[in-house]
Structures are given as structure tokens and as C-alpha cells.
Copies of this chain bind each other. A is one copy, B any other.
């Protein structure tokens, strides 16, 4: 931690900083420049509250040296984390594709879609049973019945399923049905929920908040990891920016940034990252070219009847073509798309 003092900070003000550091058994390096005094605080500085120091008299600002996340960092664990789900190893070098409708709408809809995406080359099935909707008047999902349909689809196709969990009290129930728990963008800093999925020790896909820094996103992963649940994957799904031609701006930069900062697998969601089906294929290809470990894509057999997100859903035929394009891109960067498992 580096403390930059104001131009005319007094000796007493500097001494107070030093005393505060020494209380925490940290060492000090003092640099008196012509315009500023800089105090370097060395040692285990994590217990020192940065905000408190910044509020001490004579302090201009405090510059942290270390990133605030620890267990999520590459320094803590240099090798990639690999998360086994069904017959697949997410983060293990083979690209994994998750696909399915935004919401489970009926038994026939999810079974039809599951078979269609499997035939097209998907490895896992997505589908929401509990839906976060910005309007209280919109369809809120089928609830546990939706989970049952998902389980039936898994039985039929052999595909592991991923579905969203929205509140701590529902974690145990959703763990019974789902292979991967999804934390949605709006809940990225729902800390009670992060604690609950951390305790579950179930695989978790953590979506990025729509206006969250990569650093904050990794801090939310750290919440889950801090309970000993190491099965966390990060899902880039676009951030809100000034641009309005797409619903969100897919932050493709975040893919190599995450690969440098963390050992956790990175999944890309081009459906939410664009919000328009016409652009989904281009961004899916871009994400793979940038180094993503997996994709999650919304597919619906009849998007103009979808109960949510129809506007960003691909039809199965377009999705099937995309899987072929993805295989080409993956090959070009020395990666392969996982083989689809044979049905149970």
C-alpha cells in the first residue's frame, strides 16, 4: 500500500500514518520528494483498511499494490482450474457449448429444444425455471415444475443442465436438479446468495454484473471460493455502455484479461452480449477467437413465441451452422470443440 501525502502534510500527520502501519506490524519506506511525500507500507497490509487511511489528515490518496482478490488469482494458483461436469471438463482445453431457451415454458418446448440443440452439437442444456424479470407483470418462470422438465430433458438427451438460482433459500432445491448453478448478472453482488452457493460446493457459473469491473466480478467469485467451493466459472455477458445499437456491449477484452488474472474458466454469452440474434454468431466466433473456454447461447424453436428473450434467440438451424463455424475458429487457434457425449 502506498500512501501519497498532500503537499504540505505535517510531520505529525506522517507520523500518524507510520504508527498506523506499525500497529499492523508493517514496515515503512519513506520517500520525501520535492512536491510530495510518499509512504510505502510493506508487509501483510490486507488487514489495514484503505478507506480509513485515506481519511487520515494530510493524506491525498492511497494506492493499493495488490489486487483485492486472492484465491481467484493466478498468483495464488497458476494452473487453470478444470471443472468436471458430466463427461466434460470445463476449462480443460476443449470448448464446451451450452444452449437452450431463455426460459422453460412447457414440457414439450424444453424437450423439443433439448433434442434440437443436442443434434446441432451442444454439450449442455440451459433453461430458466426461476426468471429475474425487470417487470413484475412479466412471466416469472415455471418454478420447480420447470426444474422437473429440465431433469426429464437431461434424462432424454444425456446433457447436463444449467439453470439460474435467484435466492439463498432455493439453493438446496436447485442443487437437486441442476448440474451447474447460474448466478445472474443482477445478482452478481447479492452476497447472501454468493455465500449460499459457496456453501453448496456445486459448480457455479457467475455472470458479470452489467456494470461491474472485472476486479469486482472476481471479488464476487472470491466470495464463493472463500467457502472452499472451487468450481466457479466466469461468464462474460456484456456490459452496459453508451452504445445503443445493441442491448449490451460484449466486452471481448475481458476474455484475455481474465485469462491473465485468474485460473478460472471463462464462458461467453453472445446472446445477452448483443441482445439481437443477428449479431450472435459473429460475437460467438469472436469470443472463441479471443480465448473463451465455452459458450452459452439462447436457442428457441419459435423465437417469435418465446416467453422471454425471443429477440436474441437463434433458431436451431442457425445454431447448428454456428457450431460448425465455431469448430473452424477453434481449430485455427489450436483448440477443439468437445465431442458430444452419447445419450444415456
Q: A residues bordering B, Cβ < 8 Å?
A: 2, 4, 7, 29, 31-36, 38, 40, 42-44, 46, 49, 51-57, 63, 65-66, 68, 75, 132-137, 166-169, 186-187, 189-193, 209-211, 213-216, 219-220, 222-223, 226, 239-246, 249-257, 259-261, 273-274, 277-279, 282-283, 285-291, 303-311, 313, 325, 328-329, 331-333
Contacts and interface: CB of A to CB of B under 8 A. Distances in A.
B49 A310 contact: yes
Given A243-B254, A252-B250, A313 B33 contact: no
Contacts of A136: 191, 219, 222-223, 226
A189 B260 contact: no
A211 B278 contact: no
Contacts of A285: 289-290, 333
A192 B174 CA distance: 15
Given A51-B311, A329-B333, 19 more contacts: A49-B307, A52-B305, A53-B304, A54-B310, A135-B219, A137-B226, A168-B169, A186-B189, A187-B190, A239-B242, A243-B251, A243-B253, A245-B253, A245-B254, A253-B274, A255-B282, A256-B274, A285-B333, A328-B331
Given A42-B31, A210-B211, A256-B282, A191 B133 contact: yes
A255 B284 CA distance: 13
A58 B259 CA distance: 19
Given A2-B2, A289-B289, A256 B239 contact: no
Contact of A55 (B255, B313, B332): B313
A259 to B, nearest CB: 8
A143 to B, nearest CB: 12
A271 B256 CA distance: 14
Contacts of A36: 65-66
Contact of A241 (B2, B166, B186, B239): B239
Nearest to A188: B186
5 closest Cβ pairs, A-B complex: A211-B211, A328-B332, A289-B289, A286-B286, A167-B192
A147 to B, nearest CB: 16
Given A51-B310, A192-B167, A305-B52, A252 B68 contact: no
B190 A190 contact: yes
Nearest to A325: B333
Contacts of A190: 166-167, 186-187, 190
Contacts of A246: 253, 257
A26 to B, nearest CB: 10
8 contacts: A29-B29, A31-B40, A52-B306, A135-B222, A186-B190, A249-B253, A256-B282, A325-B333
